[in-house]
A and B are shown apart, each in its own frame.
Chain A
């Protein structure tokens, strides 16, 4: 099979956006690159079919979200009694409060983080998110509200310890 010029074009055009999406999903540059690359390799495998039937970008983004969730499941298996994730921040956001929120996101379980990213970054509806993960809309809503409550609870008291 020859390299498909249309696939190469797709990667060149959308690679940037996919890495951005991976970054907000995963929260760190390594996992962002992993997610985007792995999803693109999978897209490459079904390129002819996907291009004919679906929207390739939607396919990649869905794959990325699902890969992210699967990694979550793996981690949960491996570290059943793991501590909270390390609270780290390696980038500069333009606003201190955004920085606090970005850091607090790192403390959320992957599923909750993914729901927030899909809702507030991808601007998907709860019904669309539910379809993507194969769960009910009610589950999405409860995940989102739990995640928001956690952020709300984490940010004020942590502003010193984590923002500084």
Chain B
């Protein structure tokens, strides 16, 4: 199998992991639809053949569609850049040395910190994740550091005058790297058998590592061994860590129980009987009620509203990605606080969705970043 085929196989395998989870009511829903259809077939048998055909086709098409909250009329949605001009910054598509800009991973004062994509350059194949890290001040792009080895996970953390990332060797061994934002050589901070990470952050003079399999660790930027901070937990947003259950075939629950590792404060989000797929941030939770309707509300259960988005997760406290009404497959960023929507194309966020602030995207060939913290 050649490189493209290998990448294709890996991409399909990984993409499958991003598939929507079946609702626990799927079986009941299939049963209901089956019965309705059978009943309809019997009822329609009495009607004229032409009508049967037409009605059957229409109904079947509608019947198969999952129930989603959708405004009745498609509205004219503007591009996000027009809706929130103050939050948008254009970024270059290439660096001076001709590398493609891939992702905005953080900010340093007014500078945007960007990564470029590693490219094999032969047979159309691609290898590896980030290739180098740059600072962009609005007009010029400056190299901060090259990324040695194979960066994984597209998680590059920025903070405390540093940038950090991970490379992986074998199945479980990760090496954490850091480089000063002012430029200079990247240094290995630590190597440890932690397996894949689901998040990485720089907090003060430490790097916080959140294991995919659970367990939050920290390691000083200056080097050393990782110290376990919270057993079995995942980083939500420093200093908060929480639980994440995602057992196959069961409803998932993300961060319903959270703990502040600095103060010891805890918070348990309200989960009502029959609710499932709860996905909580620091202030809001999304989920499905016992009838399968999506909602979002405060952690304490108050102010529940129907959730119009196709992604359950809420970003930066109040943003979601929703479908452009009536479009079937175009995406819009939605501010749940104001109800405003702006169309976006694909997005790559700087951090896992819960604490994502910078969304890198492109519109009509122009690359840009949306800073969610600048949307009033």
A residues apposed to B, CB below 8 Å: 3, 7-8, 11-13, 15-16, 18-24, 28-30, 32-34, 36-38, 40-41, 44-45, 86-103, 105, 116-117, 120-121, 148, 151-153, 155-156, 159-164
B21 and A101 form a contact (CB under 8 A): no
Given contacts A24-B15, A94-B152, A151-B4, contact A37 B345 (CB under 8 A): no
Check if B348 is an interface residue, CB within 8 A of chain A: yes
A19 and B20 form a contact (CB under 8 A): yes
Given contacts A22-B19, A91-B15, A95-B10, contact A164 B30 (CB under 8 A): no
Check if B9 is an interface residue, CB within 8 A of chain A: yes
Q: Which residue of A lies closest to B124 (CB)?
A: A152
Given contacts A16-B249, A45-B34, A89-B346, contact A160 B124 (CB under 8 A): no
A151 and B345 form a contact (CB under 8 A): no
Contacts of B10 in A (CB 8 A): 95, 98
Check if B154 is an interface residue, CB within 8 A of chain A: yes
> A-B pairs with the 8 shortest C-beta distances?
A89-B346, A97-B126, A23-B19, A15-B22, A98-B11, A11-B27, A20-B16, A152-B124
Contact with A along B309-330 (1 / 0, CB 8 A): 0110000000001010000111
Contacts of A15 in B (CB 8 A): 22, 26-27, 249
B366 nearest CB across to chain A (Å): 10
Given contacts A20-B17, A24-B16, A90-B311, contact A163 B345 (CB under 8 A): no
A93 and B15 form a contact (CB under 8 A): yes
B31 and A16 form a contact (CB under 8 A): no
B346 and A160 form a contact (CB under 8 A): no
Given contacts A16-B248, A33-B66, A37-B26, contact A120 B15 (CB under 8 A): no
Contacts of B206 in A (CB 8 A): none
B126 and A155 form a contact (CB under 8 A): yes
A3 to B345, CA, bound (A): 43
A92 and B12 form a contact (CB under 8 A): no
B residues apposed to A, CB below 8 Å: 4-5, 7-22, 24, 26-31, 33-34, 37-38, 64-66, 68, 93-94, 100-103, 117-119, 123-130, 152-154, 248-249, 310-311, 321, 323, 328-331, 345-349, 360-362, 365, 367
Please give 11 more A-B residue pairs, beta carbons under 8 A apart, in addition to A11-B27, A101-B11: A12-B27, A19-B22, A30-B323, A37-B26, A88-B346, A95-B10, A102-B15, A153-B124, A156-B124, A160-B367, A164-B103
Contacts of B9 in A (CB 8 A): 120-121
A98 and B7 form a contact (CB under 8 A): yes
B20 and A29 form a contact (CB under 8 A): yes
B8 and A19 form a contact (CB under 8 A): no
- Which residue from B12, B27, B102, B118 sits with its C-beta under 8 Å from A8? B27
A-B contact pairs, 9 of them (CB 8 A): A16-B248, A20-B17, A29-B310, A34-B65, A86-B330, A102-B11, A120-B12, A121-B12, A148-B5
A120 to B9, CA, bound (A): 5
B33 and A94 form a contact (CB under 8 A): no
Contacts of B349 in A (CB 8 A): 92
Given contacts A96-B154, A156-B124, A164-B348, contact A41 B37 (CB under 8 A): yes
